Structure 1
Amino acid sequence: MLAIRGPGGTRTAWPTLGPGYPPREHPLSEQPTATLDDRYGRTPSRARRSRLIGIVVAAAIVVVLGAWVIWAGPGQTSHGIDSDDVGYKIVSEHRATVDSQVSVDPGTTMKCAVQVLDKSYTIVGWKVVTLPPSTERTRSITTSVNTTTRGVTGLIHTCWVP
């Protein structure tokens, strides 16, 4: 409805805009809900697809997390490995000896990588030593390492259980 004010007062009139005006109902109320759902992507197939994608992503996360737990989890033990550098001796231009003290659980075979460095911290000698099982936890080892040039220090780089 339209209120018109004029010199004779206020009167109410329907505007003359064409047939079917004023509309009896709002135009959106005549559209079925399914049409609006289709228009805005709220279809049952899209809901199923979204649910399926969510389940696949959740399953992938569980698989990756499970693999990580198995790889880095409680099955990995350190066997009580410990190593300390005691000293070194540069024997000649192409040889050095490295004295170390290593500890591991009794009855465990262990390998250690021993290295000799020069004055610019470049590795000039490297040797992997295999230590057989022992009844004692801690033992001293002396390793002779051949070098390419004169070394200035020697040490254990790392130890591990093969």
Structure 2
Amino acid sequence: MSETKATIIPPSGSGTAGPAFPPGRYGRRRDPRRLGSRRTRLVVAAAATTAVILAGTVVAVTFGEQYGPGRPYEATVERFYDVTDEQVVVEFSVVVPPGETAVCAVRARSRDGAEVGRDEVRIPAGDEARPQVVHRLATSDRPVTGEVQRCWPEP
């Protein structure tokens, strides 16, 4: 069997563009051009970096206002007690803007994490910025915890 010769690549600086491939055999070849000047690439990279930083800042500020500490309607469970097979008493405080009412979702969970009780508690408008609320929550099984899932303004 005879050996097939490979395409010879001319040495650099010989004036030819590169290897010569048989026509139609390997598809269309692209010219090895540069993608714009160095200055254009730097400007595009700087613009992309600036856009990513601005988008990240907007997202961070938005989520910080919605979910961060100190937001209106933030609830804190002080304690839960009187735990039986049918109930739990949850004592909590909630930040409510003056003159507004709020609704808080209170729930109880069992040992395996299943939700065994849930209720929405209305906090009426009052003079206190952080009213204390005591709520007796009925459960379908013995709870191990009572918690306030979240609070929101009453529509």
Alpha-carbon RMSD across the aligned residues, in angstroms, is: 4.0
The amino acid that maps onto 2:142 is R
Q: Does 1:87 align with 2:80?
A: yes
Q: Figure out how many residues of one structure are paired with residues of the other and give that number.
A: 127
Q: Which has the larger radius of gyration?
A: 1
Cα separation, 2, equivalents of 1:108 and 1:61: 43
Gap change, CA 1:58 and 1:133, over 3 Å in 2: farther
Which structure shows the higher strand fraction?
1
Which structure shows the higher helix fraction?
1
Q: Which among 120, 125, 133 is matched to residue 141 of structure 1? A: 133
The amino acid that maps onto 1:85 is E
The answer on whether the counterparts of 1:85 and 1:155 sit within 8 Å (CA) in structure 2 is no
Gap change, CA 1:87 and 1:96, over 3 Å in 2: closer
Q: Which among 142, 146, 153 is matched to residue 145 of structure 2? A: 153
The amino acid that maps onto 1:124 is V
Q: Which among 47, 58, 65 is matched to residue 59 of structure 1? A: 47
SS of 1:126 mapped into structure 2: strand
Q: TM-score, normalised by structure 1?
A: 0.52
Aligned match of 1:17: none
1:62-119 CA-to-partner distances (Å, cap 9, x unmatched) read 223212212222882733635132333336x444332222234434554433221223
Cα separation, 1, equivalents of 2:131 and 2:43: 54
Q: Does 1:96 align with 2:88?
A: yes
Aligned match of 2:34: 46
Gap change, CA 1:106 and 1:48, over 3 Å in 2: same
Give ranges in structure 1 of 5+ residues lacking alignment: 1-27, 40-44
Give ranges in structure 2 of 5+ residues lacking alignment: 1-11, 19-32
SS of 2:55 mapped into structure 1: helix
Aligned match of 2:8: none
Aligned match of 2:65: 76
SS of 1:90 mapped into structure 2: coil
Report sequence identity in percent: 26
